[in-house]
Amino acid sequence: MHPILSDSRRLLVYIAAWLMTGIFIARLLVAADLTNWTYALLFALPLALLCGFLASSAYFVCRSLPIHQRSFSTAVMVFAAAAMISGLGWLGICYGWNKTLAAASEDMPVLNMSPHLSVLFFLAGFASYLLALLAFDVYIAFHNIREAERREAASRLLARDAELQVLRSQIDPHFLFNSLNSISALTAIDAAAARTMTIALADFFRQTLAIAEQEKISLKEELRLCENFLAVEKIRFGKKLMTEMQIDPEAGHALIPPMILQPLLENAIKHGIRNLPKGGTIRIHALQRDGWLHVSVRNPVAITPANSTGNGLGLSNLRQRFFALYGEQARVSWQQNNEEFILEMALPFERDNNE
């Protein structure tokens, strides 16, 4: 749709601008002693409005010749030809309108369309249309850039949502199957523990569903989800699994993407704690500093890693997810020594104002 004709506010501003142009033309005619104010306004105002609407057609000329499909020489020829046709057309309209006014008002001094004045009218029409072509060309270029950015943002949003759904579809069944197997085993030897584990499992999935549609949640909410997850896992692993959380009070109010810590804990248990005869402690530290949220997750690992496969959250997947949300602003890094695996995250601090 036309950016001016389809918008009433823009159209009113556009008409007002051309009316002012008409008044300016009338002022020049009077200053040159070519006619009086009455005839100058009757002559210039309708012509200025008509010139404005002729100039608006330059939008369609630019649209018919996309920037990425034209060469410089083609653009020069098309724009020059369109501006020349517009200038000649406007000159002809000026002659016709001048004769019409002369026939309708015999007592007023009409314009003498001398060759000099005719050239000026032609140049005015030519220049007006050429400027309109350049202005609409710039507008279309910026509009295309904005549309490309909008499509890219929409694509990134869809990719992020699809990625999150894939992660959930990977994590939930894996954790659920292990938990159900544990509950099945416990029913025969410890019914109370089986009941406790069932309740903890239900609480975990209830909270998972509650945050499923949220783009970001507070770190406190994520930690509550992790506590429900760990409550289930501690029944499975007993004293082998211990946790330590050091959370800065301000960091607890930080907004983060949902389900970024819970999968890391699952991986820490699966690839670390489970393979250690005596188990170990998973440590989560979070603090807010200089406008950034820093989170680290540490877990012990076996010196000789056991062969294990899984479909938990891939670390590279986490990095891609952060890139989709924060671009180059977020950072995820990890390292492993002989006894410990360390993952560190840094992302812009956004405070949850609802808390």
Residues 340 and 207 in one domain: yes
Output the CA–CA distances (angstroms, integers) from residue 219 to 17, 285, 289, 352, 353, in the order listed: 54, 12, 15, 9, 13
Output the CA–CA distances (angstroms, integers) from residue 196 to 12, 191, 235, 243, in the order listed: 70, 9, 8, 19
Helices 191-211 and 219-237, axial angle in degrees (round to 10): 160
Closest by CA to 303, choosing from 332, 276, 263, 265, is 276
Residues 140 and 194 in one domain: no
Taking 70 as the threshold, does the pLDDT of residue 213 lie above it?
Answer: no
Residues 205 and 139 in one domain: no
Backbone angles phi, psi at 218, to 5 degrees: -75, 155
The reported pTM is 0.53
Render 198-213 in DSSP notation, one character per residue: HHHHHHHHHHHHHHTT
| Number of domains within the chain | 2
Confidence (pLDDT) at 310: 44
Confirm whether 176 is domain-assigned: no
Q: Which of 94, 116, 149 is the last residue of a domain?
A: 149
Residues 72 and 203 in one domain: no
Q: Helix (H, G, I), strand (E, B), or coil: what is residue 266?
A: helix
Taking 80 as the threshold, does the pLDDT of residue 167 lie above it?
Answer: no
Residues 233 and 326 in one domain: yes
Domain of 255: which CATH number?
A: 3.30.565.10
**157-161, 204-208, 232-236 — which is least confidently predicted?**
157-161
Confirm whether 169 is domain-assigned: no
Q: Which of 149, 180, 211 is the last residue of a domain?
A: 149
Closest by CA to 232, choosing from 264, 257, 196, is 196
Taking 50 as the threshold, does the pLDDT of residue 250 lie above it?
Answer: yes
Q: What is the pLDDT of residues 270-283, one digit of tens each?
A: 888 988 988 899 99
Domain containing 301: what range? Answer: 190-348
Residues 145 and 235 in one domain: no
Stronger pLDDT, 145 or 320, i.e. the higher one: 145
CA distance linking residue 268 with residue 172, whole number of Å: 16
Q: What is the pLDDT of residues 110-155, one digit of tens each?
A: 788 888 899 999 999 999 999 999 999 898 888 888 888 887 777 7
What's the average model confidence in pLDDT over 192-202? Answer: 84
Confirm whether 232 is domain-assigned: yes
The listed range with the strongest mean pLDDT (159-163, 278-282, 326-330) is 278-282
